[in-house]
């Protein structure tokens, strides 16, 4: 049983900052990747940032230079520091984890968090 718990969303003025966190719990053998996606009303879910198993990081072009993703493998937690927020960043942000799960055999699964609302408005 794996659970992703997200926190840190809220209302912030343009130019402000928020820090999102996502902690994974359960019978996790190892983390292959963890990251953040977002979805605005009427739009498709899109990648924000992602860290691969080797530490490689991918950022969506709109957030490069403003957002920073990091991961603490010991805590099975991923963070997203969001600076210089813009109204177009308003969306529900979802934590995503690609995990190896220990059961009878080790198997790879993808998990999603419930989502946390980020609203950037003056």
- Positive or negative, the CA dihedral 25, 58, 44, 20 is positive
42: buried, middle or exposed (CB in 10 Å: 19+, 13-18, 0-12)?
exposed
Distance CA 45, CA 113 (A): 13
Distance CA 38, CA 116 (A): 9
Phi, psi of 73 (to 5 degrees): -65, -35
The structure tokens listed for 60 are 């969506």
Distance CA 12, CA 100 (A): 36
Task: Output the furthest CA–CA distance in the chain (Å, rounded).
Answer: 52
Hey, is 75 helix, strand or coil?
Answer: helix
Q: What is the pLDDT along the chain (122 residues), one digit of tens a residue?
A: 899 999 999 999 999 999 999 999 999 999 999 999 999 999 999 999 999 988 899 999 999 999 999 999 889 999 999 999 999 999 999 999 999 998 889 999 999 999 999 999 99
């Amino acid at each position: 049983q794996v659970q992703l718990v997200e926190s840190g969303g809220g209302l912030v003025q343009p130019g402000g900052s928020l820090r999102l966190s996502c902690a994974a719990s359960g019978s996790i053998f190892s983390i292959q990747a963890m990251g953040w996606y977002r979805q605005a009303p009427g739009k498709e879910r899109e990648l924000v940032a992602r860290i691969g198993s080797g530490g490689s990081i991918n950022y969506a072009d709109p957030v490069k230079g403003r957002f920073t993703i990091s991961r603490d493998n010991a805590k099975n937690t991923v963070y997203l520091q969001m600076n210089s927020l813009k109204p177009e960043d308003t969306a529900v942000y979802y934590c995503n984890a690609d995990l190896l799960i220990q059961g009878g055999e080790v198997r790879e699964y993808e998990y999603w968090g419930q989502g946390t609302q980020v609203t950037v408005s003056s």
